[in-house]
């Protein structure tokens, strides 16, 4: 094998879909509805408060569920980047995309994709705060920024004011394949 080739590992799937989101922005609205719709269609779906047993560590359980998922849906909302937990989860999502060929589907909910990609608007303000808090941890900050930029250019959906403005994910896929 050549040095620059990536090895894709197969991990048995525990979930069809893993949803990454900032809880107080969308849990009781968009993400809650998405989760319920996926469950009604019989997709085994992980959401942070549903698949974690009492006494388990949230990060460890969440990352284990992520590694065992076929698809990761990232719901970018106004305050997603304010959460270091969400940003760490996003970095892990990209690791899974590269290591196990996990499909990543971004949803831009009441935020423009360019804000996520370029870290402007609320994303820029969040990074100003992160730079103040983690200024000496340049690698962590860069990993978060690169993860946002990489996912923001993937094909996905853009919802504004609860209406879908554009669908730019055109590939039809069967989630159970």
* Domain range enclosing 100: 15-167
Asked if residue 173 belongs to a domain, the reply is no
The H-assigned helical ranges of 110-168 are 113-118, 121-134, 138-152
The pLDDT assigned to 138 comes to: 87
**Residue 12 near residue 68 (C-beta atoms within 8 A):** yes
Asked if residue 128 belongs to a domain, the reply is yes
- CATH of residue 100's domain is 3.40.50.10140
The closest of 148, 113, 107 to 127, measured between CA atoms, is: 148
**Residue 141 near residue 132 (C-beta atoms within 8 A):** no
The pLDDT assigned to 136 comes to: 80
The pLDDT assigned to 49 comes to: 63
Asked if residue 25 belongs to a domain, the reply is yes
The pLDDT assigned to 52 comes to: 43
Q: Which residues are known to be catalytic?
A: 89
Asked if residue 10 belongs to a domain, the reply is no
Contacts of 83-88 spanning 24+ positions with Cβ under 8 A: 83/22, 84/130, 85/59, 86/20, 86/21, 86/22, 87/130, 87/144, 87/147, 87/148, 88/59, 88/144
Asked if residue 97 belongs to a domain, the reply is yes
The pLDDT assigned to 48 comes to: 78
Asked if residue 110 belongs to a domain, the reply is yes
Beta-carbon contacts of 58 under 8 Å, excluding residues fewer than 6 positions away, are 48, 52
φ and ψ of 85, to 5 deg: -65, -45
Could you tell me whether strands 15-21 and 45-46 are parallel, antiparallel, or unpaired per DSSP bridges?
parallel
CA 13/CA 66 separation, integer angstroms: 9
Asked if residue 105 belongs to a domain, the reply is yes
Helix (H, G, I), strand (E, B) or coil at 108: strand
Asked if residue 5 belongs to a domain, the reply is no
Q: What is the tally of structural domains in the chain?
A: 1
Stretches in the chain below the pLDDT threshold 50: 1-10, 51-56, 166-177
Asked whether the whole model's pTM tops 0.85, one would answer: no
CA 145/CA 113 separation, integer angstroms: 14
For 105-123, how does the pLDDT look when each residue is reduced to its tens digit (9 = 90+)? 999 999 999 999 999 999 9
CA 30/CA 33 separation, integer angstroms: 5
Helix and strand element counts for the chain (H, E): 7, 6
């Amino acid at each position: 094998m050549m040095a620059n080739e990536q090895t894709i590992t197969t991990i048995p799937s525990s979930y069809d879909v893993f949803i990454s989101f900032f809880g107080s922005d969308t849990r009781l609205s968009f993400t809650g509805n998405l989760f319920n719709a996926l469950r009604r269609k019989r997709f085994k779906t992980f959401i942070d408060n549903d698949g974690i047993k009492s006494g388990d560590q949230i990060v460890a359980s969440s990352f284990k569920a992520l590694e065992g998922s076929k698809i990761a849906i990232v719901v970018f909302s106004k305050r997603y980047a304010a959460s270091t937990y969400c940003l760490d989860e996003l970095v892990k999502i990209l690791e899974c995309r590269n290591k196990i060929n996990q499909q990543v589907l971004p949803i831009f909910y009441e935020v423009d994709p360019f804000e996520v990609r370029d870290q402007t608007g609320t994303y820029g303000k969040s990074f100003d705060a992160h730079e103040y808090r983690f200024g000496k941890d340049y690698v962590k900050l860069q990993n978060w920024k690169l993860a946002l930029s990489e996912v923001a250019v993937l094909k996905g959906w853009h919802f504004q004011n609860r209406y879908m403005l554009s669908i730019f994910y055109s590939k039809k896929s069967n989630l159970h394949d």
